[in-house]
Amino acid sequence: MPTPSENTLFGMGNPLLDISAVVDKDFLDKFGLKLNDQILAEDKHKALFEEIAKRSKVEYHAGGSTQNSVKIAQWMIQEPQKVATFFGCIGADQFGEILKEKAAEAHVDAHYYEQNEEPTGTCAACITGDNRSLVANLAAANCYKKEKHLDLDSNWELVEKAKVYYIAGFFLTVSPESIMKVAKHASDNNKIFCMNLSAPFISQFFKEPLMKVMPYVDILFGNETEAATFAKELGFETDDIAEIANKTQNLPKENTKRQRVVVFTQGKEDTVATVGEKVTMFPVLDIDQNHIVDTNGAGDAFVGGFLSALIQEHVLEECIRAGHYAANVIIRRVGCTFPEKPDFH
């Protein structure tokens, strides 16, 4: 198997500082939050960020879905460092400095677009038992500008260096034009472009940009809730996850040299993936419920593990196995954090 070189994997998304704390149902109800949901903050959530920061055991972790995934991919690979590049927008502030430090610690080659109109984005992770509800205040992350960052020669060269691209659906709310530029580059050069459905609200309210990029998507990730919403929005008229995967695989595709692969995770249930013309189920690793500390980041970790095997040109089954391993490690810890080295063979 080829050893990946620097900047083989390219990620672009919303760099956020995760503020996580254990809360109770009253807290969720107070701010109208659902279990295991992820939403964008509105005015009514302003107080939530102040309240969660005052909780006794609050933890701060570098987050943002895409950034989490590329970080996990780097962790799984270990050497060389800087296999993964990451682009996103931060503020010129303390939280931004923390994100820079954390990216460097994780050996990710992060190139942030820094501006001082908006502060660095945050994401409140409200943990209840083995559920988590996420509220993202994008702030600076929402200020990413294609012409001020992606289009710069020194940055675009890093895009050209990559062989695999991953962008979470969340970035569709920020810069669809940046996504399209990267997706077309991948398609034109027969490289692999991966995307994630990310959250039900993406399919519901950002369906137009999502469907514009879909013909360029070689690998699509999502979980069971996102898959169901996507199917509903596209009028698939089925709630059978295998059938949804199959119909999604057969949506129009630009680069016909690569058949689209669709991978849907379902928490502790089997992961569903399209393998050639058929849909296959892959059981996840067993875990004692008592060992589950925090499911926040499990989906990101799955993608990160998957990508680490993908850039080493492993077969789909191996990519899924690596994804399952990474997710199994992450859910035993708070936030999207990991031990020093993986124990994956």
Residue found by looking up tokens 């807290």 in the block: 27
pTM equals 0.92
Task: Check residue 224 and give its pLDDT.
Answer: 95
pLDDT tens per residue, range 98-126: 999 989 999 999 999 999 999 999 999 89
Distance between CA atoms of residues 100 and 119, nearest Å: 14
Instruction: Give the burial string for 30-51 (b: 16+ CB within 10 Å, else e).
Output: ebebeeebbbbbeeebeebeee
Task: Check residue 342 and give its pLDDT.
Answer: 86
Task: Check residue 294 and give its pLDDT.
Answer: 67
Which residue in the list 153, 240, 300, 343 is annotated as catalytic?
300
What is the CB neighbour count within 10 angstroms for residue 190? 11
pLDDT tens per residue, range 204-225: 999 999 999 999 999 999 999 9
Task: Confirm if 329 and 338 have CB atoms less than 8 A apart.
Answer: yes
Mean pLDDT, the chain, rounded, equals 93
300 in catalytic set: yes
Task: Check residue 117 and give its pLDDT.
Answer: 95
Question: Range with the lowest mean pLDDT among 21-35, 75-89, 244-258?
Answer: 21-35
Question: Range with the lowest mean pLDDT among 50-54, 169-173, 310-314?
Answer: 50-54
Task: Check residue 119 and give its pLDDT.
Answer: 93
